[in-house]
Amino acid sequence: MDEWELVSPGHSSTTLTVASDTSSDATYIRASTLIPGIGKPLTDQAVISEHGKIVYVGSPSHVPSQYSNLSTISVPVLMPGLWECHSHFVGASPLKPINTENMSMGNSAAAGARAVRALRDTLYAGYTSCIDLGGYAPEFQTVMDEGVILGPNLYGAGAALSQTAGHGDVFEIPLGSVWQKLTLNSPGTDVGMVPFVIVDGVEEVRKAVRVNLRRGAKVIKAFTSGGATSLSDNPLHQQFTDAELAAIVDEATRFELVCAAHAIGKRGIMAAIRAGFKVIEHGSYLDDEAIEAMKKNDVTLVATMTPIESILNNRDAYPPAMYQKVLRFAHIHKEAYSKAIKAGVRCATGSDLFGGSGTVLGAGLNGKEVMYAVKAGMTPLQAIEAATANGPMTLGPQAPKSGQVKEGYDADFIALDENPLENIELLQHPQKIKSIWKGGKLVKAPGLDYWDVLATK
Ligand SMILES: [Zn+2]
pLDDT in tens, 294-350: 999 999 999 999 999 999 999 999 999 999 999 999 999 999 999 999 999 999 999
Shared domain for 106 and 38, answered yes or no, is: no
Question: What's the rounded Cα separation, in Å, for the pair 302 and 60?
Answer: 37
Span from the CA of 432 to the centroid of ligand 1 (angstroms): 26
Span from the CA of 70 to the centroid of ligand 1 (angstroms): 44
Shared domain for 393 and 446, answered yes or no, is: no
The helix (H) or strand (E) run that includes residue 19 is none
160 and 195 Cβ atoms separated by less than 8 Å: yes
Q: Using one digit for the tens of pLDDT, what is the confidence trace for 126-144?
A: 999 999 999 999 999 999 9
Shared domain for 158 and 40, answered yes or no, is: no
Taking the alpha carbons of 61, 63, 67, 70 in that order, is the dihedral positive or negative?
Answer: negative
Q: Using one digit for the tens of pLDDT, what is the confidence trace for 158-209?
A: 999 999 999 999 999 999 999 888 988 765 556 667 899 999 999 999 999 9
Annotated catalytic residue, options 25, 121, 132, 221: 221
- Residue 60, amino acid: P
Span from the CA of 321 to the centroid of ligand 1 (angstroms): 18
Could you list the residue range(s) of the whole structural domain that residue 33 is in? 2-80+403-455
Map residue 80 onto helix, strand or coil: strand
Shared domain for 71 and 94, answered yes or no, is: no
Span from the CA of 87 to the centroid of ligand 1 (angstroms): 7
Choosing from 398, 417, 446, the residue where a domain stops is 398
Annotated catalytic residue, options 233, 352, 410, 412: 352
26 and 49 Cβ atoms separated by less than 8 Å: yes
Question: What's the rounded Cα separation, in Å, for the pair 207 and 364?
Answer: 34
> In the annotation, is 287 catalytic?
no
Say what the pLDDT of residue 8 is: 38
- Mean pLDDT, rounded, of the chain: 93
Choosing from 398, 425, 441, the residue where a domain stops is 398
> In the annotation, is 417 catalytic?
no
Closest CA to 333 of 304, 311, 313: 304
